[in-house]
Chain A
Amino acid sequence: MSAAERPAGALASVPAAPRDRYGSLPAAVRAARERGELLVQPRMGFSDPARMRAGLLATRAARGATVGTLTLDSYTRVGDVAAAARALATGVPLNGYPITSHALDITRGVLDRVAGPGFPVQVRHGSPLPESIFRTLTALGLDATEGGPVSYCLPYGRVPLRRAVDSWARSCDRLARAADEGGEPHLESFGGCMLGQLCPPSLLVALTVLEAAFFVQHGLRSVSVSFAQQTNAAQDAEALLALRRLARQFLPGVDWHVVVYTYMGVYPRTPGGAALLLSRAAELAASGAERLIVKTPAEAYRIPTVDENVAALELAAAAARAARPLGPGDVSDTGVYVEARALIEAVLDLDPDIGTALVRAFAAGYLDVPYCLHADNRGAARATLDAEGRLRWSSVGAMPIAHLADLDRAALPTSSGLLAALTYVQRTCDADAAAPAPSLPLEGARL
Chain B
Amino acid sequence: MKRPRGGRSPGAGSRSTGPARGSVLLSSVSSDAHTWNLVFLQLLLEENGYDVVNLGACVPDELLLAEARAHAPDVIVISSVNGHGRADGRRLIGALRADPMLRGVPAVIGGKLGVAGADDAADAELLDAGFAAVFPDSPDTGPFLHLVDTVCTARRAARAAVPVARTGHGVIPSRFGNGLLPAYAADAS
Chain B, 1-59, CB within 8 A of any chain A CB: 5, 8, 10-13, 30-33, 35-36, 38-41, 43-44, 47, 54, 56-59
Residue of A at shortest CB range from B33?
A156
- Whether B139 lies near A419 (C-beta < 8 A) is yes
Flag the segment in B71-79, B112-120, B162-170 that touches A: B112-120
Given known pairs A93-B115, A373-B5, A413-B12, the reply for A80 and B57 (CB within 8 Å) is no
- Whether A74 lies near B54 (C-beta < 8 A) is no
Q: Is A1 an interface residue (CB 8 A)?
A: no
Given known pairs A302-B115, A371-B39, the reply for A415 and B58 (CB within 8 Å) is no
Chain B, 50-92, CB within 8 A of any chain A CB: 54, 56-59, 82-84, 87-88
- Chain B residues in 8 Å Cβ range of A92: 87
Give the bracket for the number of chain B residues in contact with chain A. Answer: 35 or more
Q: Is A379 an interface residue (CB 8 A)?
A: yes
Central interface residue in B8, B13, B57, B116, by most chain A CB within 10 Å? B57
Chain A, 398-413, CB within 8 A of any chain B CB: 411-413
Q: Is B189 an interface residue (CB 8 A)?
A: no
Cα A302 to Cα B39 with chains together (Å): 21
- Whether B58 lies near A158 (C-beta < 8 A) is yes
Central interface residue in A92, A301, A373, by most chain B CB within 10 Å? A373
- Whether A414 lies near B82 (C-beta < 8 A) is no
* Binary contact readout A280-313 vs B (1 if CB under 8 angstroms, 0 otherwise): 0000000000000000000001110000000000
Residue of B at shortest CB range from A382?
B11
Residue of B at shortest CB range from A411?
B12
Cα A143 to Cα B83 with chains together (Å): 28
* Binary contact readout A92-117 vs B (1 if CB under 8 angstroms, 0 otherwise): 11110000000000000000000000
In the assembled complex, how far is the CB of residue A154 from the closest CB belonging to chain B, in whole angstroms? 10
In the assembled complex, how far is the CB of residue A149 from the closest CB belonging to chain B, in whole angstroms? 16
* Binary contact readout A365-394 vs B (1 if CB under 8 angstroms, 0 otherwise): 000000111111001000000000000000
Residue of B at shortest CB range from A157?
B58
Partner of B115, one of A95, A196, A373, A414: A95
- Whether B58 lies near A379 (C-beta < 8 A) is no
Cα A376 to Cα B5 with chains together (Å): 10
Given known pairs A74-B32, A74-B84, A379-B8, the reply for A302 and B116 (CB within 8 Å) is yes
Cα A99 to Cα B31 with chains together (Å): 16
- Whether A414 lies near B176 (C-beta < 8 A) is no
Cα A103 to Cα B31 with chains together (Å): 22
Central interface residue in B39, B47, B177, by most chain A CB within 10 Å? B39
- Whether B57 lies near A414 (C-beta < 8 A) is no
Given known pairs A74-B32, A158-B57, the reply for A415 and B84 (CB within 8 Å) is no
- Whether A74 lies near B82 (C-beta < 8 A) is yes
Q: Which residues in B have some Cβ–Cβ distance to A below 8 Å?
A: 5, 8, 10-13, 30-33, 35-36, 38-41, 43-44, 47, 54, 56-59, 82-84, 87-88, 112, 114-117, 137, 139, 176-178
Q: Knowing that A77-B31, A78-B58 are A-B contacts, what are 7 other residue pairs whose CB atoms are under 8 Å apart, sorted by A's residue number?
A: A80-B30, A155-B35, A302-B116, A375-B5, A376-B178, A379-B8, A419-B139
Sample 22 A-B pairs with CB under 8 A, ordered by A number.
A73-B84, A74-B32, A77-B31, A92-B87, A95-B82, A155-B35, A158-B58, A158-B176, A301-B137, A302-B114, A302-B117, A371-B10, A371-B36, A373-B54, A373-B56, A375-B177, A412-B11, A412-B12, A414-B13, A415-B13, A415-B41, A419-B139
Which 8 residue pairs are nearest across A and B when measured between Cβ atoms?
A: A157-B58, A375-B178, A412-B12, A415-B43, A415-B44, A413-B11, A95-B83, A74-B31
